[in-house]
Amino acid sequence: MAYFQRDAFLLLALAASLLMTALDRAIGLELVPPLSASLWDTSWFLDDTGRLGAFIAAMTGYRARPELISVLVYTLYWFAAVALLRSGRPRPAERAS
């Protein structure tokens, strides 16, 4: 069971990365407004254009300088993913039967 949970988390993180990449491209094409300038800058700690930062960004959707729309979409994605995972879990009463 632990392997499934780890694999599910890795797949969800990769899907979040793909979602963020699609959102970045949509912002670049001006299909989606960014809603703000960069909210913060963590590039001093982990730059998403560096080797390690680019790997983490590719695997999780990390952005060193995210706009408001990116933060909102990323947060909503994880809330929806967790809610869907919990809704599929059997309850303790169902496990006993």
**pLDDT score of 14:** 95
Extract the runs of DSSP E, i.e. beta strands, from 2-97.
none
Domain ranges for the chain: 11-89
Is the pLDDT at 40 greater than 70? The verdict is yes
* Chain segment 8-17, per-residue pLDDT in tens: 889 999 999 9
> Which tokens go with 42?
């963590």
End-to-end CA distance of the chain: 19
Q: Please name the helix (run of DSSP H) or strand (run of DSSP E) that holds residue 49, with its range, or none.
A: none
Question: What is the value of pTM for the model shown?
Answer: 0.81
Cα(22)–Cα(16) distance, integer angstroms: 10
**pLDDT score of 77:** 96
**pLDDT score of 36:** 85
**pLDDT score of 67:** 93
- What is the average pLDDT across 63-76? 94
